């Protein structure tokens, strides 16, 4: 996400940088991260730091196809995409995972991908298929939403906010922390949600009022959620004092899943009328050295095996229509029936200006 695997279990994996996630079925000794040579049994996936998958699942891919997956992690989604643009035509790998609908137009305009219609795409939700030319394949969705600390609001006998308009009320003054829209994927998603809610003319006034109501802006999700938000496990340890944070609709099940012992109820809730829908894609990189392996990997990313493993690995929703996420994910995750969206072409035309305007209003 950008879609992030936002929790401690993946922090270690992110620190490793380049990780061989599946180790069987390969005699190839190429660990350069620059893609596989012709006939190689290695396929290289370039991604943001938050990509992860169960070892058993990627071993199943190796068993089915003969290809071993190597993952080259390259920082957050924006940084990873920038590196691929700089190496366009001579990519560092075969498949890129992690471009979402907020940055999709930039990737497509740069010609980074070779068109390929993945096997099984007809079983993927139609509303996630934003590129008719199949230069990218949808892999997951996630909703960026305000999360709240249930205990704080219960102790204060105060109803938590549910909408963008609620966040402007005096009762919630100095309670919200969000991420910088210029440096953070959830921060940008939250900005786009306000644009969708208030309109091209209204969002500036909205942010002026939100700033006056004490919104705090930090660089990224990790700081906002694990250092500033009182409802998270990390925030509790840090004595955080902000009971509202911009995070994801899937953050509550993560709080439950990683707790020991697991609570009967999630300690955090979701303001479902503040949610912006992210769609995350993968694509076959133009100039990939192992094109056949890349195509096989794209097929696998939308297979039932990968799609049902993904929710508790990256805390995102499957795009495969009949995929069944684990019970802990569905039980504690928020259902967002009407997320805010902005058309990719509208984002492409206005993203930079929206971010510049937001920065001038809120940060400077």
The model's pLDDT over 189-221, given as tens digits with 9 standing for 90+, comes to 999 999 999 998 899 999 999 999 999 999 889
H helix intervals, the chain: 8-16, 55-65, 77-86, 104-109, 150-155, 185-212, 221-223, 233-237, 251-257, 291-301, 304-309, 311-314, 327-332, 344-358
Q: Is the pLDDT of residue 32 over 60?
A: no
Cis geometry, peptide bond prior to residue 282 (ω within 30 degrees of 0): no
Q: Is the pLDDT of residue 238 over 60?
A: yes
Cα 344 to Cα 47, 106, 198, 277, 347: the distances in Å are 21, 10, 18, 12, 5
Provide the 8-state DSSP code for 335.
Answer: P
Q: Give SS3 for 148.
A: strand
Helices (runs of H) and strands (runs of E) counted in the chain: 14, 11
Give pLDDT tens digits for 106-157. Answer: 899 999 999 999 999 999 999 999 999 999 999 999 999 999 999 999 999 9
Q: Is the pLDDT of residue 12 over 80?
A: no
Mean pLDDT over residues 156-183, rounded?
96
Instruction: Give yes or no for a contact between 35 and 91, defined as CB atoms under 8 angstroms apart.
Output: yes
Residues in the chain: 364
Tell me, what's the pLDDT at 39? Answer: 65
pLDDT above 90 as % of the chain: 78
Work out the number of other CB atoms within 10 angstroms of the CB of residue 345. 11
Mean pLDDT over residues 220-245, rounded?
96
Give pLDDT tens digits for 241-294. Answer: 999 999 999 999 999 999 999 999 999 999 999 999 999 999 999 999 999 999
Q: Is the pLDDT of residue 28 over 90?
A: no
Residue 229, both tokens: 């938000």
Q: Is the pLDDT of residue 101 over 50?
A: yes
Q: Is the pLDDT of residue 8 over 80?
A: no
Tell me, what's the pLDDT at 249? Answer: 96
Provide the angle, in degrees to the nearest 10, between the axes of the packed helices 185-212 and 344-358: 50
Q: Is the pLDDT of residue 7 over 60?
A: no
Residue 96, both tokens: 């890129």
pLDDT above 70 as % of the chain: 89
Give pLDDT tens digits for 37-58. Answer: 456 899 999 998 889 999 999 9
Q: Which residues fall within 8 angstroms of residue 332, CB to CB, at 6 or more apart?
A: 252, 253, 255, 256, 266
Residue 197, both tokens: 């809610």
Cα 150 to Cα 155, 156, 225, 238, 244: the distances in Å are 9, 10, 15, 17, 10
Give pLDDT tens digits for 270-285. Answer: 999 999 999 999 999 9
H helix intervals, 19-110: 55-65, 77-86, 104-109
Q: In whole angstroms, what is the distance from residue 178 CA to residue 45 CA? A: 30
Mean pLDDT, the chain, rounded, equals 89
């Amino acid at each position: 996400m950008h879609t992030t695997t936002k929790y401690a279990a993946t922090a270690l994996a992110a620190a490793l940088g380049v990780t061989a996630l599946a180790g069987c079925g390969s005699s190839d000794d190429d660990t350069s991260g620059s893609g596989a040579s012709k006939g190689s049994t290695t396929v290289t996936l370039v991604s943001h730091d938050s990509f992860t998958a169960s070892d058993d699942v990627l071993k199943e891919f190796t068993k089915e196809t003969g290809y071993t997956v190597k993952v080259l992690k390259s920082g957050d989604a924006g940084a990873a995409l920038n590196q691929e643009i700089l190496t366009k035509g001579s990519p560092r790998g075969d498949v890129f995972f992690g471009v979402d609908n907020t940055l999709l137009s930039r990737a497509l305009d740069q010609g980074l991908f070779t068109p390929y219609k993945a096997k099984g795409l007809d079983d993927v939700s139609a509303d996630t298929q934003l590129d008719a030319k199949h230069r990218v394949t949808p892999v997951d969705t996630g909703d960026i939403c305000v999360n709240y600390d249930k205990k704080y609001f219960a102790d204060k006998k105060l109803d938590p906010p549910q909408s963008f308009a609620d966040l402007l009320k005096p009762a919630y003054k100095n309670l919200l922390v969000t991420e910088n829209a210029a440096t953070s994927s959830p921060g940008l998603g939250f900005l786009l949600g306000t644009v969708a809610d208030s309109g091209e003319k209204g969002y500036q006034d909205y942010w002026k009022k939100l700033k006056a109501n004490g919104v705090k802006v930090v660089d990224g999700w990790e700081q906002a959620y694990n250092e500033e938000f009182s409802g998270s496990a990390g925030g509790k340890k840090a004595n955080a004092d902000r009971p509202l944070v911009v995070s994801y609709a899937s953050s509550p099940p993560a709080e439950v899943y990683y707790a020991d012992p697991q609570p009967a109820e999630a300690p955090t809730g979701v303001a479902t009328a503040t949610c912006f829908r992210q769609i995350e894609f993968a694509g076959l990189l133009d100039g990939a050295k192992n094109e056949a392996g890349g195509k096989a990997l794209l097929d696998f990313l939308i297979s039932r095996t990968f799609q049902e493993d993904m929710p508790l690995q990256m805390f995102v929703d499957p795009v495969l229509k009949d995929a069944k996420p684990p019970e802990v994910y569905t039980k504690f995750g928020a259902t967002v029936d009407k997320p805010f969206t902005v058309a990719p072409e509208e984002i492409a035309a206005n993203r930079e200006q929206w971010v510049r305007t937001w920065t001038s209003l809120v940060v400077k």
